[in-house]
Amino acid sequence: LELLRGTASPSRLAMIGALWLLAVPAALLAGANALALDFLSVAEPAAILYDAPSIKANKLFVLSPGYPVEVVVKVEGWTKVRDDTGDFAWIENARLSERRTVMVSAQSAQARQAANENAAVVFTAEKNVFLELIDVAAGWAKVRHRDGASGFVKASQLWGL
């Protein structure tokens, strides 16, 4: 109130300024964590996506198992998701899995033995191939192919992180 009235002392203004210097970065960090993306994957074959949270709503399209989707909001047994094309739709929660997968978004992605551009190539995955996500660090994702091979792929070549 002193600040609003213009009656705050210089020492009081300095204290308020110091608090702002601490509070603003903390709020920004909290906001960044609040905006962290949450991904799930489709759990079963032929999961139908709808334009509203109801099986009576219009059917939009069908996703295959392992397809990663970004969670937008959850409401009473339904989840609004975004796919790799940016489209939004609703899916029943029972059709989703906590199992993390990613999809190759580049024309092809080389999985390497280590998170290093010079490491040996373990396998190459083509565009739209689903990979199980094991870990993410420093711009690389450790992934596993359905045939069991695992390696590190540049995060920029994947969707679902």
The number of beta carbons lying within 10 Å of the beta carbon of residue 76 is 6
Residues 52 and 79 sit within 8 Å (Cβ to Cβ): no
The pLDDT value recorded for residue 155 is 95
Instruction: Look at phi and psi of residue 140 and say left if phi exceeds 0, alpha if psi is from -120 to 50, else beta.
Output: beta
Q: Are strands 101-104 and 96-97 parallel, antiparallel or unpaired?
A: unpaired
pTM for this one? Answer: 0.72
Reported as a single tens digit per residue, the pLDDT across 129-142 is 999 999 998 899 99
The pLDDT value recorded for residue 21 is 46
Reported as a single tens digit per residue, the pLDDT across 66-83 is 999 999 999 999 999 999
The pLDDT value recorded for residue 131 is 96
Q: Are strands 150-154 and 47-50 parallel, antiparallel or unpaired?
A: unpaired
Residues 110 and 121 sit within 8 Å (Cβ to Cβ): yes
Q: What is the DSSP letter of 141?
A: E
DSSP for 55-90, written as a single string: TTSPEEEEE-TT-EEEEEEEETTEEEEE-TTS-EEE
The pLDDT value recorded for residue 4 is 41
Q: Which residue did the predictor score with more confidence, 15 or 74?
A: 74
Using pLDDT thresholds of 50, 70 and 90, give the confidence band for residue 49. very high
Q: Using the predicted structure, report yes or no on whether residue 20 has a pLDDT greater than 50.
A: no
